[in-house]
Structure 1
Amino acid sequence: MTQRLSFRLRPLASLKAALAALLALTLVACQSTELTTAGLLPYARVGAATATPGVAEVRGESTLVLDFASGRTLYEDAADGLRYPASLTKMMTLYLLFETIEAGRLSMSSELRVSENAASQPPSKLGLKAGETIRVADAAQAIAVKSANDVATVIAENLGGSEADFANAMTAKARALGMSRTRFVNASGLPDEGQISTARDMATLGRALLNRFPAYASLFTRTGFDYNGRHYNATNKLLGSVEGVDGLKTGYIRDAGFHLAATATRRGRRIIVVVMGGRTGRERNARVEALIDQYLGPASGAVAGLPGLSLTR
């Protein structure tokens, strides 16, 4: 009898094992559409780099011009000096968002939850309310065009479980991209002495972002967007006003000064220009425009003879 009972239980045990395996697979599949407090980034809490590269110079000025296709340096001035990246940080926030979409864990139509912490972030922001949701497509556009701090935190918390874990993932990705002098502690670039980078690292990031995810490049070309009945203008004022400018990201906090990472194409050649530490937005923009003219030639109909800029290598 005992032997017969044991024989009858074996198929039941196998059935239970099969059901357990099926349940596990179902839970894994659900991660692509359901957000949890654990976050969606598998590497967000494992082995992230945490060393601080050093102390940033307050309003330190840095400039770098790269040939976009080859990555060759065309011009540099203090390109490795430590700086506060301000909202140039959001390029990495978007990089990890696009990577998550590419991995199938999110889609552009997925909804991201807004926490009280995210809703409380200071401007620039969309004014999201705790408890509501925002589509990934709208969140990406708000970051690229409006540089919304509340949206950056929404992305960080939904993908990383917490903004601190997401920042660790950002730093780990920076190391993987060769950004050796960068450390992130938040997803927005809001003031923090631990948030450190350089013009060279930001150029590396901007180039990697557009090379890896060309399908989303149009997000950075728009001069404005509409959300919830309001229109928001792009923070990058060179879009639509300087020939060939097709991205990328602005940044400002008091201790950083005015930053701009810009891409531009003329006559079939593309460059990326990073200017950090401008005293005003207008001065920063003029500097970037002069560099574009210097290395791509003057815009059609522009007056020739702009001051030259010496090469360093």
Structure 2
Amino acid sequence: MGGGPDSGGEAYIAVEAHSGKILANRNSRATRSVASLSQVATAVVAFDWSTATGISLAQQAIVPPDVATLTGPNPMGLQPGDQIALRDALYSMLMGSDTASAQTVAVFIGNELQQRRGSRYGSVSGTFVNEMNELARALGMSRTRFANAHGSDGGTSTAEDMARLAIYAMRHPGMAFYTKQKSRQIGFQRAGQAVSFRVSNTNQLVGTQRIDGLKAGQTPLSGPCIMISAERDSIVEKLPDGQARITPQRMIVVVLNSAEREGRALGLLNAGWAGYDQWRTMGGAAISQPEEILSVPNLQ
């Protein structure tokens, strides 16, 4: 199977988010184009920026002129000059791979960052992309380089690096709320008139086997890609001193350049849980080599 900047074909990884235990992987460190999976990084930067500045994601943003020249999905038909709440832009981006919404978020926040820093050097969208790459660096995504906020062209990563991003992203309380819905009614303003739109989630696996995210994407260069997150009930163990030990459980699966991305992702999810249960039964020490643990720092 060809496609992607590395012609080695399919790449994947399955990892339990809280322990970091890698349960399955293939070509997981090979560079691939990741299409609109890049938009997960766009959303994380937006969430972190909102938290740091106190600016609500209900803030209205103006759709910038350059959306008229972008390739990639524009499901709402956004046009330059339209106004949309950052929150609705994020819904359309995370659920519908909306290129225009991703660029709108990048330009708005990039402009805010430049103003706060007293610097107008470079493009505002470039300032935002720098934040995406700084996030990647901080998370240890050493083989990742984002080229833009939407991912419709340019930008490469690996299955392992995108798993790091997914683990960090799902630590944000609001991320699952954006990504777990099958559809949502959102809207924008055009020339003072409200326009309503129902965005559908392109991640066909949402709602299956407790999958609550994260993102599906595809371009001719990347091939079909998907990253999923599934949560199980926490394990509650009583300790000899009468206290309880609570162990949360979340499986992250990233599949890149796979013609059967959904089937592969579900197979890896099931195999991942089975492998994780076996690992825990053996005390979590059956295979304890450092390369089999994915460590993701908590930046919040």
TM-score interval (norm. to shorter): 0.7 to 0.9
- In our comparison, the structure showing a higher alpha carbon Rg is 1
Quote the offset at 1:267 in angstroms.
5.0
SS at structure 2 position matched to 1:103: helix
Fraction of identical pairs, as percent: 30
Query: Within the alignment, does 1:182 sit opposite 2:144 as a pair?
Result: yes
Quote the offset at 1:186 in angstroms.
0.5
CA contact (8 A) 1:199 1:274 kept: yes
- Residues 68-109 of structure 1 deviation map (CA, whole Å, 9 limit, x = unaligned): 111221111110000011111001100110011101252121
Quote the offset at 1:58 in angstroms.
4.5
Query: Within the alignment, does 1:233 sit opposite 2:200 as a pair?
Result: yes
The 1-side partners of 2:261 and 2:223 are apart by 9
The 2-side partners of 1:138 and 1:58 are apart by 37
Tell me the amino acid that sits aligned with residue 239 of structure 1: V
Choose which of 9, 15, 24 in structure 2 pairs with 1:60: 9
- Residues 202-227 of structure 1 deviation map (CA, whole Å, 9 limit, x = unaligned): 0000110111x113321110001123
Higher RCO structure, 1 or 2 (CA under 8 Å, sep 6+): 2
- The match for 1:201 is 161
- The match for 2:180 is 221
CA contact (8 A) 1:58 1:255 kept: no
Quote the offset at 1:276 in angstroms.
0.4
- Structure 2 matches for 1:35-54, cutoff 5 A? none
Query: Within the alignment, does 1:110 sit opposite 2:90 as a pair?
Result: no
The 2-side partners of 1:105 and 1:153 are apart by 21
Query: Within the alignment, does 1:73 sit opposite 2:39 as a pair?
Result: no
Tell me the amino acid that sits aligned with residue 153 of structure 1: Q
Query: Within the alignment, does 1:170 sit opposite 2:97 as a pair?
Result: no
Tell me the amino acid that sits aligned with residue 224 of structure 1: S
The 1-side partners of 2:17 and 2:66 are apart by 38
**Structure 2 gap segments, 5+ residues each:** 112-123, 187-194, 235-248, 275-290, 293-300
- The match for 2:267 is 290
- The match for 2:252 is 272
CA contact (8 A) 1:220 1:249 kept: yes
CA contact (8 A) 1:64 1:75 kept: yes
- Give every structure 1 segment of 4 or more consecutive aligned residues whose post-TM-superposition deviation is greater than 4 Å: none
SS at structure 2 position matched to 1:278: coil
Choose which of 73, 85, 102 in structure 2 pairs with 1:124: 73
Quote the offset at 1:118 in angstroms.
2.2
Quote the offset at 1:231 in angstroms.
1.9
CA contact (8 A) 1:266 1:296 kept: no
SS at structure 1 position matched to 2:213: strand
SS at structure 1 position matched to 2:32: coil
Query: Within the alignment, does 1:138 sit opposite 2:97 as a pair?
Result: no
SS at structure 2 position matched to 1:184: coil
Quote the offset at 1:59 in angstroms.
7.3
The 1-side partners of 2:58 and 2:156 are apart by 33
Quote the offset at 1:111 in angstroms.
0.8
CA contact (8 A) 2:5 2:221 kept: no
SS at structure 1 position matched to 2:168: helix
- Residues 258-300 of structure 1 deviation map (CA, whole Å, 9 limit, x = unaligned): 1111011235432000010112xxx110011111122225xxx
Quote the offset at 1:248 in angstroms.
0.5
**Structure 1 gap segments, 5+ residues each:** 1-54, 298-311
SS at structure 1 position matched to 2:226: strand
**Which has the larger share of strand?**
2
SS at structure 1 position matched to 2:33: coil
CA contact (8 A) 1:167 1:186 kept: yes
SS at structure 1 position matched to 2:142: coil
CA contact (8 A) 1:119 1:127 kept: no
- The match for 1:45 is none
CA contact (8 A) 1:59 1:83 kept: no
The 2-side partners of 1:59 and 1:78 are apart by 8
Matched residues, number: 238
- The match for 2:210 is 244
CA contact (8 A) 2:72 2:152 kept: no
TM-score (structure 1 length as normaliser): 0.72
The 1-side partners of 2:250 and 2:138 are apart by 24
- Structure 2 matches for 1:92-103, cutoff 5 A? 92-103=41-52
